Structure 1
Amino acid sequence: MKKFFNSRFGSIYLLYLIFISVSFLTRLVLFFYSFSQFSKSVWEIVKSVSTGLFFDTIAFGYFMIPFVLVTLLVPHKLAKKKIVKYITYTFYTIATVIIVYTAFAEYFFWDEFNVKFNFIAVDYLIYTSEVIGNIWESYNIPLLVVSIAAITGVIVWFVARKGWIGRALQSPEGFLVRLKTALILSIVPIIGLLFVTHRCSEISTNTYNKELAKNGVYSFFEAFKNNKLDYEQFYLIKDKKEAFTQLRSLMADSTIAYISPDVMNPVTKVSNTGEEKRYNVFLITVESLSGEYMNYIPSTSGITMPFMDSLANQSLFFTNLYATGTRTVRGLEAINLSIPPTPGTSIVRRSGNENLYSLGSIFKEKGYVNKFLYGGYGYFDNMNQFFSTNGFDIVDRSDLKPEEITFANVWGVCDQDIYKRSIQEADQSFAKGEPFLNFIMTTSNHRPYTFPSVGIDFPKSRKGGVMYTDYALAWLFNEVKNKPWFDNTIFIVVADHCGGSAGRAELPINEYQIPLVIYNPSNIPAQKVDKLCSQIDLTPTLLGILNWSYQSTFYGKDIMKMKQTEERAFIGNYQKLGYIKGNNLSILSPQQRFSFYQFDRYTGEEAIKESNEIMKDEAVTYYQTAEYMFVNGLNKIEKK
């Protein structure tokens, strides 16, 4: 063993030990941090740890490539010089800093999302100012820097004290011997490149155990590579004409008619009889508003929303509604486009997303003034581009005057500030006699959980975020109740996604349940609606309340007219695409995989069942046609 570490490649072998040791300790911390969520079976734990070691080795195989090349190419005479020793220690220190820093980053990412690095980390890499600001405002950065430096210092001191690097540099191995070793070491990254994918981490039905088995660095680059997925390459498919034909059957409704006999034309005409209503609309999409924060879903979180519970009792309240995804852009996509989630990144962030059949395009055609109001900077997640090219004028943080901002953090102004501006916009539209749609996206219920001083000591946590969210909504409704446009305005409160996204299951049902409240006491009677539905049904339901006729390529339906046999919901993350009917969940995954579960609506507990071919076929139809429609521009509005 001593001879092994004293070879020219000995410092690389030592770095590997450091790498896997830090990774193992990180896994241990995460295991105890989320102890209650893991399967405690000895075999499950052994699989997680051993698979984790495998992924750590593959990740290090990529990490070591520059070190192997330098060791191979630097001749023995040069390697013995002091300057090379100093340079080696410098880069060794940098490498150790990266390893230790990554361990801390994995912990904080797990604390937020309960997973190793994934597509969210890739997306956030683009928005460095927001992410760095969020970290700075959320954590004690000086303490973190000191901790990382101290741990790195101890490791490098120990290595220097043992003299391993010096002895490795003094090793007199010739070029051919070094070449042989380099070729053997290169097998690791080659195996990783050719044969290893995230499917190798599918070692358990418990998502936490699977996540623990991953290596954060490897997961990050795997997510980067797969952030855009070719549906036809990775998922189950059928003949496209057959799929679009079946879609027509699934979408059949007495109010819906396709405008063309060509099955590849997905444009429909929804016809309602009687007078069209001209209500104004306040559509408030609340950051991370889980259904469990309200009374209608049993919860042990201790988080409550007394105002929202009170508002729900006076409203059209949908109690069995699911978010389509786990990111803000997924919620915005579902509400605006009424489309199931497509794999990879959201349509909001994809090219070719302009001039689509959407909520904004329909309201604009009806003569409404549409405003998208966002408390942050709308370049984040491409929101400004998406909304501005789909029927909305933009009002974001950059449009607010300094005196309009009473409080802000890295994510945006507080909810009250953006609500104040939305009221101003409504007043201006009303004064001009223009009907308006104000689409508001809030930011306060988000880490770093900092809030304005309003006489209440909100804790700096998710609980505090929900408390302030509820307070700000109460403030908004109190401010508008005496406005001349109040009685003629529909107020909608819905979540973009839940406050959490992790669970033991492939797609944890209870992490997709969100509330939808539609409030207008003068025109909409209070009623609880327990039909199974999802965010994509919000817009058709709103348009049904308005009694509008319109053309669209929507997959959603008017919930109030939905028959029991038509009830279904769509959920997903960037890879797994879920389809719910009753208490059954089917999931389409890459590599043409399909899984089927039965679940408990409130606990989220799932049991694997034999495949349901009908649900499988319907899921393929919905998701394949949705992706094909967007990629081929079938949901673009033709210019007149």
Structure 2
Amino acid sequence: MRLFQQQKLLYAAYKPYQTLLIGYVLGLVILSLSRGFLFIWHWDRVSAAGNVIELLALGLRADVIQMGYLTLPILLMAPLLTHKFGQNLWLKIQVSWLVLALSFLIFMEAATPAFILQYDLRPNRLFIEYLNHPQEVFSTLWGGFKFWVIASTLILALSVVLLIKVARHLHARQKSKTFSFRAALILWPLLVVLEIVGIRSTLAHRPANPAFFAVTSDALVNDLIINSAYSVEYAVYNLRHEADAAAIYGEMPIDEMLAQVRAQPYLASKQFPNPNYPTLHFNQASVMTQKPKNIVVILEESLGATFVESLGGIPVTPNLEQLKSEGWWFTHLYATGTRSVRGIEAVISSFMPTPARSTVKLSLSQQNFYTAASLLAEQGYFTEFLYGGETHFDNMQSFFSGNGFQSTLGIESIKNPEFVGSWGASDGDLFQLAHQRFSELAETDSPFFSLVFTSSNHEPFEFPNGTIEPYNQPLQSVENAVKYADYALGKFIQQAKQSNYWEDTIFLIVADHDTRVYGDELVPIDKFHIPGLILGHSLAPRIVDSITSQIDLMPTVISLAGVSSLTPALGQDLSSAEAPPANRAMMQFGSNYAWLTDNTSVILTPNGAITGYYDFAEKRFVRGQQVEQSAVEKARAHALLPSWLYRNRAYDTGCPSAVEITQSGC
């Protein structure tokens, strides 16, 4: 009899929370099934990374955290609504929650395969950022991931219909019966405690977070362990910390950071006269000219070493291959990140990467933040940005106009374009505009600086028909898009050689990043390898074999153009004979940071530093080699300093325009 009474009391206590608890269990089932599918899809990488049963158990643990986040806010309302006057509202809240919360989980999981195909990671901060550009994103998805778009839509629609039916059934079933307020209160504290314990997931000082589940050396597998809703939610939470690398890699006093960075051989002899701008130093031009050269930067969308035969890729860039013998060709050049705005940041501002969003998009860098344009504008250059699409995309126009670019021209400036795709006018149309502008500017007395940013090599890979012989099928493939981009570039350079600006201009041709960055490593270094070429009428050909970063390019080009400058840029002027090449590069991949040299390398993660070396022949990072602690501290200093410079608004020349700039300052 007593056992029967206890069971009756337990059931009475359970009834008020029935829908919430059913939803909780359904959520765990949905997330586990999705993870199972993703594990099977990437079975070779998952099985190679560790014990699959243990990984699945960790995944369930992450799902318990996610379901705790979703259910705890509703559960906390129970004491206010489970009395007899609020029971009807309480039931409606629960069934509404069941439909909305589980639909959200299903949507995030359904969107995951396409995101993984593009970024080799679960949805993260990029997923949130791209919501600001629905037209471009939908065009990309429809062009490159049509199957997944349709499948995801059908899965979500069917799931919502089923969830609504389940919710109506549960509501009708519970509405027909009353439940005990007293019984509800008896069970409530226990449920709250269990939820909090599940959310913390550990008795350690800090609760579990995505880094807690990073138990393998494969970044994708680590991401598959958690779920996409959790990944995105944690990214939103981290937005308030995103400008502070110290929160990920640990604290270091600013004096120590500066000492480590300034100790680099190419900076060791420099003077740093302004404590408000602690990286500001004078760089003497390596070339003396009567009039500074014009500078044109051609930033090629997603043109990684993957597509350059002499760099170990496939033969779809014949024009670039031909041009490489005419200028300075970089054989070991590495991008700092995996997005266009990170490439812009590195090339145009020579700014080292951080775990935060690119400074192109951050609030404190929209004015008084160093760019090559702001430096050259102070030197009397006319500065301009040319793009085939909408210049406001990724906040580019705001960043450029606030930091030295006197003109920004987008698709509206291209009259009667030959071809317009999802991302704007074709590269051929963009280069026609560029040639027209350069011809006009060459007739003026001032030198000019122009950034030309291409877009044809971007999903969905649209370009004019009949311009190239396809490398493969279907026509709208990345290989064919790269081949068209190379065709348009080659045609422009031929045109430029016959122009009135060729002899007075230095061209930098470089990729913003490779196409889809993926690999079973914490940082897939090989996918950061990009081509780079400095070209000009008076420039003697040269092969640069040392390891080089995107941040080194503009200091070198500015020096070759004959401009001595007061600059905060920490990239090396490779044209200077004062010091040997730095032979290092830095890469940010999510929350992991790679410091690459020719003999030892360091990867910084939220869990600590991993040391080893990069095998250039096998194109893999080999962990385990012991390195001096000083190498780890050097890597940490370079990873931490840019965040400090951003937060303290200390990355600029400190000089207003149109003033005399000397070695000691403005």
| 2:157 corresponds to | 149
Q: How does 1:69-468 map to 2 (within 5 A)?
A: 73-75=80-82, 92-138=98-144, 139=146, 144-154=152-162, 159=166, 166-170=172-176, 172-187=178-193, 190-191=196-197, 192=199, 195-227=207-239, 228-252=242-266, 257-260=270-273, 265-272=278-285, 275-276=288-289, 278-299=292-313, 304-353=316-365, 354-397=367-410, 399-400=412-413, 403-456=415-468, 459-468=475-484
Matched, 1:9 2:23: no
| 1:37 corresponds to | 45
Q: How does 1:542-561 map to 2 (within 5 A)?
A: 542-561=557-576
Q: 1:143 to 1:292 in 2, by over 3 A?
A: closer
Q: 1:532 offset after TM fit, Å?
A: 0.7
> What is the number of residues matched between the two proteins?
630
Q: Distance in 1 between matches of 2:340 and 2:576?
A: 28
The answer (yes or no) to whether the contact 2:277–2:653 under 8 Å persists in 1 is: no
The answer (yes or no) to whether the contact 2:417–2:425 under 8 Å persists in 1 is: yes
Q: Distance in 2 between matches of 1:111 and 1:496?
A: 19
Matched, 1:519 2:519: no
Q: Distance in 2 between matches of 1:181 and 1:405?
A: 68
| 1:613 corresponds to | 629
Deviations 1:394-444 (A, max 9, x none): 33436425x433333443322222222212211221233432222011222
Q: 1:338 offset after TM fit, Å?
A: 1.6
The answer (yes or no) to whether the contact 1:268–1:552 under 8 Å persists in 2 is: yes
Q: 1:17 offset after TM fit, Å?
A: 3.1
The answer (yes or no) to whether the contact 2:299–2:510 under 8 Å persists in 1 is: yes
The DSSP-based 3-state class of the residue aligned with 1:514 is: strand
Q: 1:273 to 1:477 in 2, by over 3 A?
A: closer
Q: 1:155 offset after TM fit, Å?
A: 5.8
Deviations 1:80-101 (A, max 9, x none): 97x9988866654444433322
Deviations 1:311-354 (A, max 9, x none): 22333210101101111111111112223112312222222322
Q: 1:143 to 1:582 in 2, by over 3 A?
A: closer
Q: 1:14 to 1:495 in 2, by over 3 A?
A: same
The answer (yes or no) to whether the contact 1:79–1:170 under 8 Å persists in 2 is: no
Q: Distance in 2 between matches of 1:394 and 1:574?
A: 33
Q: Distance in 2 between matches of 1:488 and 1:445?
A: 29
Structure 1 range deviating more: 319-328 or 422-431 = 422-431
Match among 585, 608, 612 for residue 601 of structure 2: 585
Deviations 1:264-309 (A, max 9, x none): 732211124662363322211111111121113334xx56322222
The answer (yes or no) to whether the contact 1:44–1:204 under 8 Å persists in 2 is: no
Matched, 1:27 2:35: yes
Gaps of 5+ in 1: none
Q: Distance in 2 between matches of 1:56 and 1:284?
A: 45
Structure 1 range deviating more: 68-77 or 420-429 = 68-77
Q: Distance in 2 between matches of 1:420 and 1:273?
A: 32
Q: Distance in 2 between matches of 1:455 and 1:238?
A: 54
The DSSP-based 3-state class of the residue aligned with 1:204 is: coil
| 1:528 corresponds to | 543
Counterpart of 1:484, as a letter, is N
Give identity over the alignment, percent: 25
Q: 1:122 to 1:397 in 2, by over 3 A?
A: same
Counterpart of 2:481, as a letter, is G
The DSSP-based 3-state class of the residue aligned with 2:233 is: helix
The answer (yes or no) to whether the contact 1:258–1:266 under 8 Å persists in 2 is: no
Q: 1:13 offset after TM fit, Å?
A: 2.7
Please give the root-mean-square deviation of Cα atoms over the aligned residues, in Å.
3.2
Q: 1:233 offset after TM fit, Å?
A: 4.2
Q: 1:512 offset after TM fit, Å?
A: 0.9
The DSSP-based 3-state class of the residue aligned with 2:618 is: coil
The answer (yes or no) to whether the contact 1:6–1:167 under 8 Å persists in 2 is: no
The answer (yes or no) to whether the contact 1:5–1:14 under 8 Å persists in 2 is: no
TM-score by length of 2: 0.85
| 1:472 corresponds to | 488
The DSSP-based 3-state class of the residue aligned with 1:269 is: strand
Q: Distance in 2 between matches of 1:23 and 1:199?
A: 19
| 1:59 corresponds to | 66
Counterpart of 2:371, as a letter, is S
Q: 1:558 offset after TM fit, Å?
A: 1.9
Deviations 1:99-142 (A, max 9, x none): 32222111221121111122212322333443345435553656
Q: Distance in 2 between matches of 1:167 and 1:236?
A: 54
The answer (yes or no) to whether the contact 2:304–2:530 under 8 Å persists in 1 is: yes
Matched, 1:596 2:608: no
Structure 1 range deviating more: 5-14 or 198-207 = 5-14
Match among 507, 511, 536 for residue 495 of structure 1: 511
The DSSP-based 3-state class of the residue aligned with 2:462 is: coil
Deviations 1:515-563 (A, max 9, x none): 101222x322333221111000001111232233111111111224475
Q: Distance in 2 between matches of 1:262 and 1:355?
A: 16
Counterpart of 1:63, as a letter, is L
Q: 1:310 offset after TM fit, Å?
A: 2.2
Counterpart of 1:106, as a letter, is T
Q: 1:260 offset after TM fit, Å?
A: 2.2
Deviations 1:361-407 (A, max 9, x none): 23223322111112232222221122112221333436425x43333
Counterpart of 1:195, as a letter, is P
Structure 1 range deviating more: 135-144 or 427-436 = 135-144
Q: Distance in 2 between matches of 1:288 and 1:625?
A: 27
The DSSP-based 3-state class of the residue aligned with 2:226 is: coil
Counterpart of 1:294, as a letter, is V
